[in-house]
Each structure stands twice: as structure tokens, then as C-alpha cells.
Amino acid sequence: MKPLTDADIRDSLVNASQDEAMRMPLPGLHEVVWDDREYLGWRDPGSPQRGYLAYWRDGRPVGLVLRAAETRLRGGSAICSLCNTPQPSSQVTMFTAPRAGRAGERGDSVGTYICADLACSLLIRIAPPQYEMQPSPDEVVAGRAIRLASRLDAFVSRVLEHA
């Protein structure tokens, strides 16, 4: 992923006001290993139900404000809809995003289950062991990255729909 600056991220939010963008806390961008990301996701330490993600779409940064459900999934396992990784249900959360534009102003939103820490890009890089007659671990991770990016684009398209 191409690096994002503070200004890139604040200007990229498609479902928030300029005031919300200016109040948004940012993660330590100097610590991000951009080559290991399809998107940057983080939670607001001052408001745990709030999350954010930003990434490059068609050559420009696009960012979303997310809201985590207050209730957690119970027991068993769950699958993140972005990275498609099965995990304990406590590590996957329903996030909703207000739609962009007038639809969001009317209260319309879309939701999906995402890794609670918004760290899908890191999770998909856990390479499987090498087996004969199977793709290499690097090929597996590359395929996961392509599919993650595609599912992220689909979710963002739903947020942008009717904007």
C-alpha cells in the first residue's frame, strides 16, 4: 500500500463531516509498515465503539468512519467478511458505516463483520506451512491480499452507493 499522510486520511473520509475528520485521532503513521497493508484500520482509544479505515481506491485515498456493535458475538467462531479468516467469535465484530452523502445524513448505514482490531492486513500475512503440490506460502498470502482488497472495495462501494 502506498503511504497515507495525516492530511490524506482526514480529507479521505466519505461518510463524516470535516469537523469529525479534524477530531479523529490518528494512529502512529510513522510506525506503519505500508508494504504489509491493503488498508489502514484502527480503533479510537477515546471512544472504543468508533473505528476507522483508509486505503487507496482508484488512485485516491478513501476513508470510512465505522461504529462497532455494542454487543459481542457469543461462543464458537466467526469469519471476518474482509479477510475471510475464521477466528474466535470474540475477535470479530459487527461494524456499521453511515452511507456517504444524503443517504447517510438520513441515517442509512451498511454493516459487516470485521476483525475487531481492524488488522486484517496483518492477519492474512500469517503464512501457512509449505506443502508439496500446494502453492508457496508467498503465493497464498498474495492471493489472500487480492481477495481482501476486492472484498474491501465491495464494502466501500455499498457505503458510496446512492451518494
Query: Which has the closest alpha carbon to 113: 140, 86, 138?
Result: 86
**Cα(54)–Cα(57) distance, integer angstroms:** 9
Tell me the three cell numbers of residue 16.
463524516
**Cα(35)–Cα(48) distance, integer angstroms:** 27
Query: Which SS3 state, helix, strand or coil, does residue 2 take?
Result: coil
Q: What is the pLDDT of residues 51-102, one digit of tens each?
A: 999 999 999 999 999 999 988 777 889 999 999 999 999 999 999 999 999 9
Place of cell 452511507: 99
Query: Which has the closest alpha carbon to 123: 152, 89, 148?
Result: 148
Q: Which residues of 34-46 are buried (b: 16+ CB within 10 A; e: fewer)?
A: eeebbbbbbbbee
Confidence at residue 72, expressed as pLDDT on a 0 to 100 scale: 78
Residue 66 identity: L
Query: Which SS3 state, helix, strand or coil, does residue 63 take?
Result: strand
Q: What is the pLDDT of residues 14-56, one digit of tens each?
A: 999 999 999 999 999 999 999 999 999 999 999 999 999 999 9
Confidence at residue 12, expressed as pLDDT on a 0 to 100 scale: 97
Confidence at residue 163, expressed as pLDDT on a 0 to 100 scale: 65
